[in-house]
Amino acid sequence: MSDEARLLAEIHAARALMRASEPARDTSRRPGAAELWAHATREPGEPVDLALVRAIRADPATARRYRALLAGQAIAHAPLAAAASDGAVASRRVGPFTLGILPADEDAPPLLVLRGSAARPPRVIEAMLGDETVRLALPPPTDGVILVALDPDVPEAARLGEMLRDRSCAVFLL
């Protein structure tokens, strides 16, 4: 047996030992459907169950179930929508809605502009990027347009604007 083959065999054996010695994931403590539903239908700003958030972040199966619940109740969602930008305005399609971000100027913060033709306007926006989630309440539309100031002094709003500019950010309009 060559040195390379022996080294590969040792690496393979070491990986197998490491997998066997890892503590088994406790799947019996996965959040149930009721817990996930309560989290998915919560109002923005309400307290969250940190154990549930940790489970969504750490367990891919729980994260998939949570996203499926959000998608099921969403007016529109974009799991991995691609953002388009010409430098001045970032925009993306989310179902029948267009989300645009107008840049800040010296007097005003950036603005999230949400236009759509759905019969019922969304009340909440939730963005997911990696293991981070931001949820904001949306004001009622004015002439069919919802405007949200992405004020840097409001951490959730500022982070939402940053997340929406990322191509891999999932967006749920609830």
Is the CB of residue 133 less than 8 Å from the CB of residue 40? no
What are the sequence ranges of the domains in the chain?
3-73, 76-173
DSSP class of residue 29?
G
Q: What is the CA radius of gyration of the chain?
A: 21
Give the pLDDT confidence of 102-118 residue by residue, as tens digits.
888 888 899 999 998 77
Give the pLDDT confidence of 4-37 residue by residue, as tens digits.
777 777 776 667 666 655 555 555 578 888 899 8
Across 16-42, b (16+ Cβ under 10 Å) vs e yields eeeeeeeeeeeeeeebeeebbeebbee
Residues 6+ apart with CB under 8 A from 85: 91, 165
The token pair at 160 is: 């939402």
**The length of the chain, given as a count of residues:** 174
d(CA 56, CA 66): 7
The pLDDT, as a whole number, for residue 120 is: 86
Backbone angles phi, psi at 125, to 5 degrees: -120, 135
In single-letter form, the type of residue at position 109 comes to P
The pLDDT, as a whole number, for residue 146 is: 94
